Structure 1
């Protein structure tokens, strides 16, 4: 195969492989497709690793607003630039890049004008409204990819592209909180817990009842305390971050934070929040949500992560085992993050 900027000349029969969602609630199907050619402003990336996010599970299970089908899921992508479309001067061919959830924004709506592109009125999302990284190759908007040449291990870097980035935005919304509760100790939580410790914050881990594996992981990362989500922490929290998609955690977290404290919901989907007494919100407690990310968030976090020594705990799966990875995530059969390796 010969590669030129803006041109892809392939051998007859050369194809990419992908795991494709055709209908919500069904298993992904393995397919071979023609190698994609990047258009103006785009790059083609050979996927080295793609982490499996809970958002992928929400997509497959039909819990998100319907998007275009069929679609290739996956938005925590690390890979090598193979080809560039017209008008792309960077990144260089051969460079390692990360491709995140936010795949494109309009640049013209009021939110984009206010530097709040995470709330863009006409966005594209990788692995949801455009094909993602559960594949050997992916085409992405070059302006929404991030340089990762300083990250030598693609498997370890893949969870940073969403679990890390969304986790960072969630933590930022907690403000100057010193005592931080983390509900749902999965991929995002175990990364942001390490950043909390590096920043000098104390963190408290809340897990499914009896999940001693997640509690042990939290304690090994420096948690001041780890227990079930229904338990009260040993001291009042300044803020609570909720990564588990369970609405019933909201009143529990509000009960755990002090007056003036914040509860930040970090997921794209959550089950219904049950009715709770106003007294849990009173005294200037705040309930906030995080939507997507901005490129500025990503640049901040990817600069901090190596300095903080953040290390992802990963379980690897072959690309063709994507359905098994999703099932294991649904059942909580691993701790940290699952990563597909083509």
Structure 2
């Protein structure tokens, strides 16, 4: 038995307070990670608010973990004690379903979210199944890498899954925690990248992140002027937009891919989509294999999030900073 020192909320929208719990004997395929850094994702805030109706209290948030392996089960062969690793949204998979056997672990119906039904990384230690834990490349900045394990994985996965060509044209809707990483990855992928933003003063930032051009999403004429231009639109916002206007920006066989957790129904005009064979889709993070590719790609092309840092004991200040919408662009807790 070992004692974990964490920060937990006992109710929806509650204050995160010091919390201790006991870890039993480590399983043969599990690893314990000594947390060094933990990113704060908007999903942590949603879980704290019980916005999705799935939160179990007490809740220890945190699913963008970077740290060192402090213990490993006797069947773990690909990770060693002392290695620096990362953990994202999933802390385990069934490993036997068709999705797991097919390499799509993130689609496993029995996947175990790191912060649902178990305790996450706002702590000194977090435990996970070894299949969900990925070694960090040596040349990747560990202090800034945490957001890659959720936010970075979310925006990188569509580039792989849809076989996006480096000659393609990609539009990114929303330049925030997800969107700024989408711009960086898409530019490094080789694509022509356009940023759509309604935020004042974000035009230069979007260009700095890799956009070749910026379109004001509040200017109908500017949007209309981009009709039929894009192979892929990545939406990173979590609010309802005029989706039909954006679908009109796609080339034939183009795709609008939703990455922000929009909870309202989509109102789509089917006929224009049918005649141009357009698609609307969404996806949750990615598999461990894709995560390894993402980390290697990020290290090779120097793709790192723009981060703000808080000490772990200022976690409530950090959460309020995120809630206020002032984060630029990802927040990381340092132990």
TM-score (norm 2): 0.89
CA distance in 1, matches of 2:61, 2:199: 31
Q: Any conservation in 2 of the 1:36–1:139 contact (CA below 8 Å)?
A: no
**1:274 Cα deviation after fit:** 4.5
- Do residues 66 (structure 1) and 32 (structure 2) align? no
Residue in structure 1 matched with residue 31 of structure 2 by the alignment: 43
Unaligned runs of 5+ in 1: 1-7
Equivalent of 1:275, from 257, 267, 275?
267
Q: Any conservation in 1 of the 2:38–2:334 contact (CA below 8 Å)?
A: yes
Equivalent of 1:97, from 85, 107, 130?
85
Q: Indicate the SS of the match to 2:79.
A: coil
Alignment of 1:190-339 (within 5 A): 190-207=180-197, 209-212=198-201, 214-231=202-219, 232-233=222-223, 235=226, 236-248=229-241, 250-267=243-260, 269-282=261-274, 283-339=276-332
Equivalent of 2:133, from 136, 145, 149?
145
CA distance in 1, matches of 2:186, 2:265: 27
The one-character-per-residue Cα deviations of 1:65-85 (angstroms, maximum 9, x if unpaired) are: 414322311111000111223
Q: Indicate the SS of the match to 1:187.
A: coil
Residue in structure 1 matched with residue 142 of structure 2 by the alignment: 154
CA distance in 1, matches of 2:134, 2:235: 26
CA distance in 1, matches of 2:328, 2:242: 20
Q: Indicate the SS of the match to 1:122.
A: coil
Q: Any conservation in 1 of the 2:156–2:182 contact (CA below 8 Å)?
A: yes
The verdict on how the C-alpha distance between 1:273 and 1:257 changes in structure 2, with shifts beyond 3 A counting, is farther
Q: Any conservation in 1 of the 2:38–2:64 contact (CA below 8 Å)?
A: yes
Residue in structure 2 matched with residue 20 of structure 1 by the alignment: 8
**1:181 Cα deviation after fit:** 0.9
The verdict on how the C-alpha distance between 1:111 and 1:174 changes in structure 2, with shifts beyond 3 A counting, is closer
CA distance in 2, matches of 1:51, 1:252: 34
Unaligned runs of 5+ in 2: none
Moved more, 243-252 or 31-40: 31-40
CA distance in 2, matches of 1:251, 1:27: 40
CA distance in 1, matches of 2:307, 2:185: 17
**1:168 Cα deviation after fit:** 0.7
The verdict on how the C-alpha distance between 1:23 and 1:280 changes in structure 2, with shifts beyond 3 A counting, is farther
Q: How many pairs align?
A: 327
**1:332 Cα deviation after fit:** 1.8
Equivalent of 1:110, from 77, 98, 121?
98
CA distance in 2, matches of 1:297, 1:201: 19
CA distance in 2, matches of 1:331, 1:191: 20
Residue in structure 2 matched with residue 3 of structure 1 by the alignment: none
CA distance in 1, matches of 2:63, 2:35: 11
Q: Any conservation in 1 of the 2:48–2:59 contact (CA below 8 Å)?
A: no
CA distance in 1, matches of 2:218, 2:252: 20
Residue in structure 2 matched with residue 84 of structure 1 by the alignment: 72
**1:35 Cα deviation after fit:** 6.4
Q: Indicate the SS of the match to 1:203.
A: strand
The verdict on how the C-alpha distance between 1:250 and 1:25 changes in structure 2, with shifts beyond 3 A counting, is farther
The verdict on how the C-alpha distance between 1:210 and 1:186 changes in structure 2, with shifts beyond 3 A counting, is closer
**1:260 Cα deviation after fit:** 2.1
CA distance in 2, matches of 1:252, 1:245: 17
Q: Any conservation in 2 of the 1:189–1:243 contact (CA below 8 Å)?
A: yes
**1:150 Cα deviation after fit:** 0.9
**1:17 Cα deviation after fit:** 2.5
Q: Any conservation in 2 of the 1:184–1:206 contact (CA below 8 Å)?
A: yes
